Amino acid sequence: MGAGIALMFRKKFNGVEELKQQKKVTGQCAVLKRHKRYVYYLITKKRFNNKPSYESLRQSLEDMKTHCTLNGVTRLSMPRIGCGLDRLHWDRVSVILEQMFKHSGISVTIYSLPERAKTHMSTGGLKYLLTEKDKLRSQDSFDKKQDTMPPPPGRSLKGSWRLNYFTGDLFSCPGDEALAHCISEDCHMGAGIALMFRKKFNGVEELKQQKKVTGQCAVLKRHKRYVYYLITKKRFNNKPSYESLRQSLEDMKTHCTLNGVTRLSMPRIGCGLDRLHWDRVSVILEQVFKHSGISVTIYSLPERAEMTVMHESHR
């Protein structure tokens, strides 16, 4: 525990010898009792300079869950475990957490620091307030939500813009919220969430007539909302780049600003069939929108529902 968040735990809770005496190994979980709380130490690797695996993380979470169940623990808070110095990917870690806790009766809250604060941690300790909380509630659907309300239309929370997360059907969002997703220049939309947009909103010819190219954004007006089509690649079977995604988001933001759009809902864009990584995409979204006055809500389906959508879309 010589760096990062582990060092902060060591300074706050001490107990290194107490932990060593428990003789836990990789895939298990050591624990300290401090006042009214348990403090869990997930053993995910043998030595500090090794890299953990997703499987060792999963095993140590299972061990922790067992202790929680036996000791009546119903609420857990943690950082984005394994995704700092250990360089695991949050999109995979969050799936493991959801699989682990969704029927456990244990709620899980994820804390993240603002990007600037992260850069100060190694030299000056914790200098900024925690501003992002992804709330994972262990209901039947194990909803992942922010536990604060999103900003009202036209405003962001001062100094604390963040993505809002919700588990559920994207098309169930309020009818006056704009929607967005990614497509190719050829407007093929033959699979995944793009196919669902095509079936719901039609307008393929209308989109083609706009003659948008990669890095731009086409748009339909449907009732009280705008529906945005981020052009991130030339053909449906190409792979988008993070830069083309950024450019199309900037183009969409310009349209939003000119047309008074203050609320956007979207899936985890680019991270389905296009195989971009959410940990990078979410950073791009924050960079594009954090000073815009536009709130962004990310919808995800429960894992089984996502698999069904993918299966149906490939028939």
Q: How far is CA 4 from CA 9, 11, 37, in A?
A: 9, 11, 22
Give the helix ranges, DSSP H, for 158-292: 192-201, 204-209, 242-258, 278-289
Q: Is the model more confident about 125 or about 255? A: 255
> Above 80 in pLDDT, residue 128?
no
pTM of the model: 0.51
* pLDDT exceeds cutoff 70 at 263: yes
**pLDDT, tens digit, 9 for 90 and up, residues 38-72:** 999 999 999 988 998 999 999 999 999 999 988 99
Instruction: Give residue 313's pLDDT band: very low, low, confident or very high (50, 70, 90).
Output: very low
Residue 183's CB is within 10 A of a number of other CB atoms, namely 26
Q: Which CATH architecture fits 164-300?
A: 3-Layer(aba) Sandwich (3.40)
**Catalytic (active site) residue 176:** no
Residue 249 · residue 288 · CB < 8 Å: yes
For 180-228, write each residue's pLDDT tens digit: 999 999 999 988 889 999 999 999 999 999 999 999 999 999 998 999 9
Catalytic residue among 233, 251, 253, 290: 233
* Equal fold, 4-113 vs 164-300: yes
Give the Cα separation of 200 and 105 in Å (integer): 36
Of the pLDDT bands very low, low, confident and very high (cuts 50, 70, 90), residue 159 is: very low
Cβ atoms of 90 and 279 closer than 8 Å: yes
Q: What is the mean pLDDT of residues 225-253?
A: 95
**Confidence class of residue 303 from pLDDT cuts 50, 70 and 90?**
low
What is the predicted pLDDT for the residue at 197?
95
Name the CATH superfamily housing domain 4-113.
Answer: Leucine Aminopeptidase, subunit E, domain 1 (3.40.220.10)
b/e sequence 207-238, b meaning 16+ C-beta within 10 Å = beeeebebbbbbbbeeeebbbbbbbbbeebee
pLDDT in tens, 102-112: 888 888 888 87
Kindly state the average pLDDT of the residues 275-297: 91
87-124 per-position pLDDT tens digit: 888 888 888 888 888 888 888 888 876 554 444 443 33
Q: Are 42 and 29 in contact (CB under 8 A)?
A: yes
Active site (annotated) includes residue 274: yes
143 has a pLDDT exceeding 70 = no
Regarding predicted confidence, which is higher, 160 or 290?
Answer: 290
Helix/strand/coil for 251 = helix
- Domain extent listing, the chain: 4-113, 164-300
